[in-house]
Chains A and B, each alone.
Chain A
Amino acid sequence: MNPVRMRCLVLSLCLVVLALLGLLAGAAVGDWSMSWGELADAILSGPSSELGGSYVVWNLRLPRTLCAFLAGASLSCAGVLFQGVLRNQLAEPYTLGVASGGAFGAAMSIALGLGASGGAMVGAVGSLGLVMLLGRGGSASEMIMAGVVVSSLLSSGLALIKALVGEKVSAIVIWLMGSFSGAGWSSTAICLLGASASLAAVLLLSKELDIFASGADPTSLGVNERAVRTVALSAASICAALVVGQFGIIGFLGLVSPHGARLILGPANLPVGIVSFLGGGVLLMWSDLICRLLGELPVGVLTSLMGGPVFILLVWRGSRAAGP
């Protein structure tokens, strides 16, 4: 077997095992303490509407753990798509203003006394639409420029809202940090949709992403550059918007997971996409578990704290591997 395929297979199996262990740990960890026997009973007895171990496991802990996995997988695959079609290794799911739009929409909703999620979703999708409109027909760098401009405007808007809302500012700040504490089965279904869409986009477009990433002119090889870019960016941005809309800003996964996979597997996007999907899911799932153990820390803070140094390490190792 091709060594890259072999490494991808071994890594995927390890990540699946880690994901299953994380799911089990996610069902076990929380304020409602249970013995291993009670946990097994709660899992085997299935969902219950009565308050007890079964209710806690099936209605609170499992959907939350699954949401964390699927959100991490979505953001990581979105990172693979962004870095591929924008030909920019620092591109990530929030490059086209999705995070700023989501944050602005959520802040506006909170300021108006409405739920944050709806506003965040509208803001994220709206900013994405605006960036697509501004950068339509342009090159990848023009698209990134449009994202930077829209992000900057929305960040200013967010600062203005924070300055005007008074005591509601704390609710906005907490939402911005990202958390899975409110996750339920409806959130899980939405996350599953996003994760499936982003994985499908990576699997179906992996050949085209390779051509984009290689530096070749895609048009010279018969690739419909505009169609591929539109499909990939739409899929990635909508997945990111789904995550931001429900759980707030969770940064760095779209960078760390794909770059980590590339360091081990090389640049081909098919194995990188599969391992990023699983790796991002496992990383966010275990990050959320740690946050729960540390008394409900916002998960976005932890991913940023972990992601920054890890990212610097990856870049440093990558530049050493690439040579002078």
Chain B
Amino acid sequence: MPLVLDNVTVRLGGRAVVDGVSVEVGEGITGIIGPNGSGKSSLMRALGGMVPFEGRISLDGVSLMDRNRRDWFKLVSLMPQSVRFDQPFTVRQAVLMGLYPLLGPFKPYGRREEAMADRVIREVGLEDLADRRVWDLSGGEAARVALARSMARDPRLLLLDEPTAALDPRHAMEVMDLLDRGWRGRYGLVVLHDVNLAMSWCSRVLVMRGGRVIASMDRGRPDLKALREAYQVEFVRLQGPRGTVAVMPVRS
């Protein structure tokens, strides 16, 4: 059963920043693109249980609202838009924090949690840096720590809000590769500003504008009309080598 959003609305200060979104999302990585203020992050925060919303969200056929808060956070993990490390925790300590929903209050992290953290640290390729302080990492490494923290509890639905925002093209592609390899058979929603990154790595891309999903594109098949409507600029389609397709905004 897919992830189903039924008429999901999020209001901030009385204004609907997500306005009646109804969509079904299949397994694998689904991208969400759209201009600033189109409601992408608010939709992610609603799915992540961080803001109240109207409507219904169900995962694997069960409504998330019927689950208690702890079960919700076991099933769904959100990497928020701004990731910062205020204190020099080690990489392992930072990743362990992602396992908090599995334990809840009062129980200390044990061997099982440490093993889970070590596994995901290996998966994201940070095993050599596990005991390093997060302050001593490069931007790309820190982004992978944040990603590992989101993935650590092995959620059914992974929500990543601009995970590649601070990364150069190579590191951004590495993160998308990691998701493509590691998140099969589960649900992943990724907010991206890079349309080409979304078109290349996501099996499906949802286009948002004004709090609504205005179009859905399949991998490698850009909908120039939808992109123009979303961003209010013209896009052109570019044919690359080995059948690859890219889009580029142009001055109209």
Contact = CB atoms under 8 A, between A and B. Distances in A.
Interface of A: 87, 204-208, 210-211, 213-217, 219-224, 266-268, 270, 322-323
Contacts of A224: 69
Given A222-B73, A266-B88, A322-B135, A216 B97 contact: yes
Interface of B: 48-50, 69-70, 72-73, 78-80, 83-90, 93-94, 97-98, 100-101, 103-106, 108-109, 135-136, 149
Contacts of B73: 221-222
A267 B105 contact: no
B141 to A, nearest CB: 16
Nearest to A223: B100
A174 to B, nearest CB: 40
A268 B88 CA distance: 9
A222 B70 contact: yes
A222 B104 CA distance: 8
Contacts of A222: 49, 69-70, 72-73, 100-101, 104
Given A221-B100, A222-B100, A267-B87, 7 more contacts: A210-B93, A214-B86, A215-B85, A219-B49, A223-B100, A268-B93, A323-B136
A214 B142 CA distance: 13
A204 B108 CA distance: 9
Nearest to A88: B86
Given A214-B85, A214-B86, A204 B97 contact: no
A278 B100 CA distance: 28
A270 B107 CA distance: 12
Contact of A221 (B87, B90, B101, B136): B101
Contacts of B88: 266-267, 322
A9 B136 CA distance: 27
The CB with the most chain A CB atoms within 10 A, among B49, B50, B97, is that of: B97
Contacts of B108: 206-207, 270
Contact of A219 (B50, B90, B106): B50
A220 B87 contact: no
A87 B135 contact: no
A217 B159 CA distance: 14
A87 B97 contact: no
A214 B105 contact: no
A311 to B, nearest CB: 18
Given A219-B50, A266-B89, A267-B88, A214 B80 contact: no
A221 B97 contact: yes
Nearest to B159: A220
A224 B83 CA distance: 19
A267 B96 CA distance: 14
B145 to A, nearest CB: 10
The 9 closest A-B pairs by CB, nearest first: A222-B73, A215-B86, A267-B87, A222-B101, A215-B84, A213-B87, A221-B100, A220-B78, A219-B50
A311 B78 CA distance: 38
A143 B94 CA distance: 26
Nearest to A215: B86
A270 B100 CA distance: 15
A213 B85 CA distance: 8
Nearest to A218: B100
28 contacts: A205-B105, A207-B97, A207-B100, A207-B105, A207-B109, A210-B93, A213-B86, A214-B86, A214-B87, A214-B89, A214-B94, A215-B86, A216-B80, A216-B149, A219-B49, A220-B50, A220-B78, A220-B79, A220-B80, A222-B49, A222-B72, A222-B73, A222-B101, A223-B100, A224-B69, A267-B87, A323-B135, A323-B136
The CB with the most chain B CB atoms within 10 A, among A87, A220, A224, is that of: A220
A221 B98 contact: yes
B40 to A, nearest CB: 16
A231 to B, nearest CB: 10
Contacts of B84: 215-216
Contacts of B103: 207
Nearest to A204: B106
A87 B78 CA distance: 21
A225 B149 CA distance: 19
Given A220-B78, A222-B73, A268 B89 contact: yes
A220 B150 CA distance: 9
A146 B70 CA distance: 32
The CB with the most chain A CB atoms within 10 A, among B50, B86, B90, B149, is that of: B86
The CB with the most chain B CB atoms within 10 A, among A210, A214, A215, is that of: A214
Nearest to A84: B87
A221 B50 CA distance: 9
A95 B80 CA distance: 30
A25 B89 CA distance: 39
B163 to A, nearest CB: 13
A276 to B, nearest CB: 15
Nearest to B136: A323
Contacts of A205: 105
B101 A210 contact: no
Contacts of B90: 266
